[in-house]
Amino acid sequence: MMSQPQAAKRLQGTVLRSTGSWYRVRTEQGEYNCRIRGKLRLDGLKSTNPLAAGDEVEVEVLPDETAQAMVVKRHPRRNYIIRRAVNLARQTQIIAANLDQAVLIVTLVDPPTYPRFIDRFAVTAEAYSVPLLLVFNKIDLYGTAEQEELAYHTAVYRDAGYPVLHTSVPHGIGTEALANSLRGKRSLLSGHSGVGKSSLINVLAPELQLRTGRISDSHRQGQHTTTFAEMFTLSGDAEIIDSPGIRGFGLVEMEPAEIGDYFPEIFRYKAQCRFHNCLHLQEPGCAVREAVEAGDLPISRFESYLSFVEGTDDDSMYRQDQHRK
Ligand code: GDP
Ligand code: ZN
């Protein structure tokens, strides 16, 4: 007599990695490679990826399949980091979801990260309710000019309310502080490729043995397939989501009136503007412009703000590959 097919079992899980058509999901019964139920693709945002690392999902596991399953439901996201893909103006990509913080790793040399890029990332983090931690790496390479720049940017971002760390991998500076900041949290780690993200992760979690260096990196980029973020658990109760080196990070479309709210230090002055809907452009009685002129608000942040509001921010101008020798 043939046995009746057993019912599929439902499990709660967390997406560790997405490769476009397959999803690696962690459940309390182990990890599964999952497909996604077609209907799921249609709901929610118009992003290129229906699921991202960090997503909480429900998976259906067939009793006779040991390591395969189907994602049948995505739970609502607490928050996420999203970018507009370069060259695909209307396409957006969710980089990671359900984060305790986003760690943006930058460096002032080799290759320099431009403040506009930092601000695009910071505005996105504000807009989607993700706390930001800024890490300036490779400080061992900074000359006098870069050290002054570092002091300036550190003050600017700390005044805005963001924690800032300084690190050097070969000199072991700041890596302990970074490890402490990650403890007990789920963090997205992002940055241009070449800033030393893999090197830092290898210090924090030598067991992962991520490949580092320019050669493997250009190889990775040369493949032209989209690489996706991946979640790892570090000892000491930290989860990190390592995202591939970001070449372009385009702001998703935002209303001009909301952008000022995503610059915490600009937002603080807004109540003092004469008009409640002041965009801080040419309006009379604008407290924000007065603060910039008085030196109480940093010009670099205000210029980023203006370029986002006026739509003159051209992501391609800041792609680091154009600056690389
Ligand atoms: P990723 O693309 O961000 O993952 O960058 P990698 O970790 O692959 O590092 C790129 C290059 O920068 C490698 O040659 C690293 O050895 C080097 N590097 C990383 N961190 C530092 C640092 O703090 N100081 C110096 N001098 N070099 C670093
Ligand atoms: Zn104003």
**pLDDT of 201-236, one tens digit each?**
999 987 777 666 644 444 444 443 446 789 999 877
Q: Regarding predicted confidence, which is higher, 82 or 49?
A: 82
State whether the beta carbon of 221 lies less than 6 angstroms from ligand 1: no
Dist CA 279 CA 273 (whole Å): 9
User: What pLDDT shows up at residue 237?
Assistant: 87
- Reported confidence tier of residue 93, pLDDT bands at 50, 70, 90: confident
Q: Is the dihedral of CA 240, 164, 80, 309 positive or negative?
A: negative
Q: φ, ψ for residue 160 (rounded to 5)? A: -70, -20
Of 104, 199, 215, best ligand 1 pocket probe by most atoms within 8 Å of the beta carbon: 199
Taking the whole predicted model, whether its pTM rises above 0.85 is answered as: yes
State whether the beta carbon of 190 lies less than 6 angstroms from ligand 1: no
* pLDDT tens-place string over residues 8-20: 789 999 999 988 7
With CA atoms as reference, report the closest residue to 309 among 278, 284, 287. Answer: 278
**Mean pLDDT computed over every residue of the chain:** 86
> Distance, CA 196 to ligand 1 centroid (Å)?
3
With CA atoms as reference, report the closest residue to 117 among 256, 253, 315, 307. Answer: 315
Dist CA 322 CA 190 (whole Å): 19
With CA atoms as reference, report the closest residue to 166 among 178, 149, 179. Answer: 178
> Which ligand lies nearest the alpha carbon of 107?
1
State whether the beta carbon of 217 lies less than 6 angstroms from ligand 1: yes
* pLDDT tens-place string over residues 271-290: 999 999 999 999 999 999 99
- Find where tokens 């695909």 sit: 88
Encoding tokens for residue 33? 């490679």
Dist CA 202 CA 209 (whole Å): 6
62 pLDDT more than 70: yes
Q: Is the dihedral of CA 271, 274, 278, 279 positive or negative?
A: negative
> Which ligand lies nearest the alpha carbon of 142?
1
User: What pLDDT shows up at residue 248?
Assistant: 73
User: What pLDDT shows up at residue 306?
Assistant: 95
> Please, which residues have CB less than 5 A from ligand 2, an ion?
273, 278, 280, 286, 288
- H helix runs in 128-279, sequence order: 144-160, 175-182, 197-204, 214-222, 256-259, 264-270
Mean pLDDT of 291-310: 95
* pLDDT tens-place string over residues 158-213: 999 999 999 999 999 999 999 999 999 999 999 998 999 999 999 998 777 766 66
Distances (CA, A) of 56 to 68, 75, 77, 168, 185: 17, 6, 8, 34, 16
User: What pLDDT shows up at residue 217?
Assistant: 45
Spatial CB neighbours of 102, under 8 Å, sequence gap ≥ 6:
81, 121, 125, 130, 131, 132, 133, 187, 188, 190
User: What pLDDT shows up at residue 172?
Assistant: 96
A 10 A CB-CB count for 285 gives 11
With CA atoms as reference, report the closest residue to 250 among 54, 88, 50. Answer: 88
Encoding tokens for residue 258? 């909301």
Dist CA 110 CA 203 (whole Å): 20
